Amino acid sequence: MKPSDGPIGLFDSGVGGLTVARALARKLPNERLLYFGDTAHLPYGEKSPEAIRTYALGISKHLMDQGAKAIVVACNSASAVALDVLKEELDIPVYNVIDPVVHYLQRKHAKNIGIWGTRATVASGIYPRKLTEVLPKSEVRPMATPLLVPVIEENLLKGQVTDAVVQLYLNDARMHGVEHLVLACTHYPLIASQIAKQLEEKVHLLRIPTIVANFVAKQLEEGHLLRDRPATESHHFAVSDYTESFEKISRIFFGKGIHLQEENIWI
């Protein structure tokens, strides 16, 4: 089998990375995806950097054992603190969800940028650091928004609870004057419509999954790692701890035919 015929591996702490998986499946219909949701350790945003690195490396090696030709770290927290370890330890390409966003904002010459993310992502300082390197005149305002992940994982994608949490964060003084809002957690696009309806018209809400999918597709093409014909096997979705909410949300993205398999790789 040619290296390009292998599947693309993706992982996240839970359901959020499915937003990236869906965008990749649409962008690259010939490709087979291997998705791993580490629901046993959700949420990564509340874990130590050392723990996140351990989880990320273990999952990536698990996906490689299943034939993955590349790894997409479909999690901002893991992208922020584990990327260097993964690139050092793995001998296949590793992509993250931060660099594509930075490149996109650079092309847009963005100035006033709001960042919503987990505590781990915000504490890493990675977005301000990377953005000010390419946009030295920009103002970057990172905000930890930890209440959003549990709301999403409980499948509360619409309604008063979600609206109240979104409004709480939008009312923060750091949001005043923001022109671009980055949802720096792959869970958050699941409630993008709820966020968008409360935003001021001048605020541009980035479509992160599409931005990431376009970036990864280009990188795989340049590395001659795209399949030249459709994969014969279907996508594979696994979790480290099966939950009903994960399966319900996963079917929103990939239909009723999705099969979730529990794979406890930590034993």
* Residues assigned a catalytic role: 75, 185
**Hey, CA dihedral for 108, 220, 51, 210, is it positive or negative?**
positive
Q: How many CB atoms lie within 10 A of CB 93?
A: 17
Residues 6+ apart with CB under 8 A from 193: none
Helix or strand run (H / E) with residue 182: strand 180-184
- The CA angle 196-202-207, to the nearest 5 degrees, is 45
Strand order through the sheet with 204-205: 139-144, 112-117, 180-184, 204-205
Q: Among residues 63, 61, 18, 67, which one has the least CA distance to residue 39?
A: 18
Stated length of the chain? 267
